Amino acid sequence: MWILHYSIAAILTWETRRKDFSVMFTHHVVTVLLIGGSYLTGFFRIGSIILALHDGSDVFLEAAKVFKYSGREFGASVCFAFFAISWLILRLIFFPFWVIKATSIDLQKVLNLSQSCDTLLYYMFNTLLIMLLIFHIYWWMLICAMISRQLKNRGTVGEDIRSDSDDD
């Protein structure tokens, strides 16, 4: 549980406040609950797959930031394109149609949903996973807005659309 407290403290203190702060904060709480819950209930495989799917696109985002901060616009544009494509594939295709399908439809065949404990876990985990999917759709709309702005700027990656000011 100390990880939950650490994550919350880190977000509240060190993160730059952006327009999507409440979404990001809730995302971190949901993620910590899913990680802890999958560990406590023995759902190691599905927890690992969820982590892998969510971390795959982050590499391209961080690379795009490095290129952007070092003034290399072409590298930033290429990495941002890979980020957007990987986000779409991993978080909006594989995640709902593979992971959520497995945890909501396929898992019903394994669990005994007549037992109250299994039913509670089933609905709790799937509610948290669907919350993550809703956040992914919200962030995908922001990514599309950044792509649109990038196309208008002739390939130049703009500032973070979530920023409240030009200082970020």
Tens-digit pLDDT profile for residues 56-90: 999 999 999 999 999 998 999 899 999 999 999 99
Residue 5 domain flag: no
- pLDDT at position 21, please? 80
Q: List C-alpha distances in Å: 145 to 137, 138, 140, 161.
A: 12, 11, 9, 8
Q: What backbone phi and psi angles, to 5 degrees, belong to 117?
A: -65, -45
Compute the distance between CA of residue 68 and CA of residue 112 in angstroms, rounded to an integer: 51
Q: Would residue 162 count as lying in a domain?
A: no
In terms of pLDDT, which residue wins out, 47 or 2?
Answer: 47
63 vs 32, which has greater pLDDT? 63
Q: What is the DSSP letter of 113?
A: T
Q: Any long-range contacts for 55-64 (C-beta under 8 Å, 24+ apart)? A: 56/86, 56/90, 57/83, 57/86, 57/87, 57/90, 57/91, 60/86, 64/157
**What residue numbers bound the domain in which 47 lies?**
24-149
**pLDDT tops 60 at residue 166:** no
CB atoms closer than 10 angstroms to residue 159: 13
In a domain, 53, yes or no: yes
- For residue 160, tell me if it sits in a domain: no
Residue 104 is assigned to a structural domain of this protein? yes
Q: Cβ contacts of residue 131 below 8 Å, gap of 6+? A: 26, 30
13 found inside a domain = no
CA diameter of the chain: 59
Lookup: tokens for 78: 């290429």
**What's the token pair of residue 91?**
């978080």
Number of domains in the chain: 1
Confirm whether 112 is domain-assigned: yes
How far, in Å, CA of 107 to CA of 100, rounded?
10
Q: Is the pLDDT of residue 161 over 60?
A: no
Q: Has residue 95 got a pLDDT over 80?
A: yes
Read off the pTM: 0.80
- Residue 68, domain member (yes or no): yes
